[in-house]
Amino acid sequence: MPIEQADKLRLEEFLEEMREYKARHTELITVYVPAGFDINLITKQLESEKSTCTNIKSTTTRKNVQDALESLIRLTKGMKKTPKNGVALFAGNVSKTEGQDDFITEAFEPPEGLNVRLYRCDQTFVLEPLEEMLEVKEVYGLVALDRKEAAIGLLVGKKIKVLQKFDSGVPGKTHKGGQSAQRFVRIREEIAKKFFKKIADVMKREFFDLENLKGILLGGPGPAKEDFLKEGDLVTALQDKILAVKDIGYADEHGLELLVEGSGDILAEQEIIHEKKILEKFFDMLGKQKDKTAYKQKAVEKALNYGAVDTLLLSKKLKKADIKKFEKKASETDVKVELISVDTEEGQQFWNLGGVGGILRFSV
């Protein structure tokens, strides 16, 4: 699920603050504790690192690393268990003046589960795992198959997650034991049909109730993927979700990677379609229900102050400070925010209209 606007804003502000810090030497410590991991093991690791850092030659750097580790050890010892979504820990001397101390110790619980464990001592804090949480988490189902094997996965944002992989047991084209060629072909076809049915069942189990599923990409070598669509008994709701059928050379985990690589045009188009639908609704209401819309900064700010905005539209071409200002205001009244590019004619038209718009719950 996409993270809530208030959590997104909290994360953005935290990251903006942490990006400002840079040490003179390799002495800023970052620790990521994944969801469900035993915090006591992290404490033991930090204590071990503290023993090891006695080998650091520079007296100043050694002291700063030791002090940072001590502060993190105190922090983790004070935790009874790892927070629900895991925790990101940061500590170090961030003073910009040589010889002066300005120590910080931060424990940040992210808005969604951390799945990475990390310890690093560097000149800057490691922020990538948290930054990835701000990426759009549109979800696409991935299916790579032929008559012998299949892999089923998800594309979440930019990451591929393998859900299941399995073999069909379909025998090769040669046969033994005096079977007639015709009978052997029939057996192979029956096994293949059962395999297709299994793939359809797994797809239903994995995809059917997935709330934010945007579509399904299907691929594989040869005609098996087309045969699957004809013979696999895939439920209509999922059949209608198939955005593309691609020829790829593999039907395993690597096949899922090739499927994503070969579907870049489809994925980009889906994002544009989503944006076009939002703008189509906004412009339609602007013409037919003008009192239920607002545009330009002053009018939209007024509507936000009244709590009247249902969906806030912001052009990506706006100044970053303005986007943050509107996002913060939107988070106070549970407003859905949509960022609009200028890659389409409609997006450019929206920018020419002021780049700020609102679909309202009630007229102001």
Q: What is the pLDDT of residues 223-250, one digit of tens each?
A: 999 999 998 889 999 999 999 999 999 9
Structural fold of domain 270-360: 60s Ribosomal Protein L30; Chain: A; (3.30.1330)
Hey, what CATH class is 5-134 in?
A: alpha beta
Q: How many CB atoms lie within 10 A of CB 134?
A: 14
Q: Calculate ∠ Cα 177-181-183, nearest 5°.
A: 85
Structural fold of domain 139-262: Nucleotidyltransferase; domain 5 (3.30.420)
In one-letter notation, the amino acid at residue 311 is T
Residue-wise pLDDT for 89-100, tens only, equals 999 999 988 778
pLDDT at 157: 74
Band (pLDDT 50/70/90 cuts) for residue 1 is low
Cα(322)–Cα(66) distance, integer angstroms: 41
Q: What is the DSSP letter of 192?
A: H
Nearest to 359 by CA among 344, 340, 337: 337
pLDDT at 156: 82
In one-letter notation, the amino acid at residue 178 is G
* Residue 225 token pair: 């993927």
Cα(316)–Cα(313) distance, integer angstroms: 10
Domain with CATH 3.30.1330.30 in the chain: 270-360
* Residue 104 token pair: 């910080």
- CA 219 to each of CA 142, 196, 357: distance values in angstroms, whole numbers, following the listed order: 8, 14, 40
Q: Please determine, for residue 179, whether its predicted confidence score (pLDDT) is greater than 60.
A: no
How many residues belong to the chain? 364
User: What is the separation, in whole angstroms, between the first and last Cα of the chain?
Assistant: 32
Q: Do the beta carbons of residue 152 and residue 142 sit within 8 Å? A: yes
pLDDT at 231: 87
Task: Supply φ then ψ for residue 140, to 5 degrees.
Answer: -125, 135
Q: Is the pTM of this model over 0.85?
A: no
Residue 235: partners with Cβ closer than 8 Å, 6 or more residues away: 200, 204, 208
More confident residue, 344 or 154: 154
Residue-wise pLDDT for 271-305, tens only, equals 788 888 999 999 999 999 999 999 999 999 999 99
Band (pLDDT 50/70/90 cuts) for residue 176 is low
Most confident range, picked from 36-40, 133-137, 182-186: 36-40
Q: Do the beta carbons of residue 349 and residue 295 sit within 8 Å? A: no
Band (pLDDT 50/70/90 cuts) for residue 47 is very high
Domain with CATH 3.30.420.60 in the chain: 139-262
Domain with CATH 3.30.960.10 in the chain: 5-134
More confident residue, 146 or 180: 146
If you search the block for the tokens 């040669």, which residue do you land on?
174
More confident residue, 175 or 226: 226
Share of the chain above pLDDT 70, in %: 96
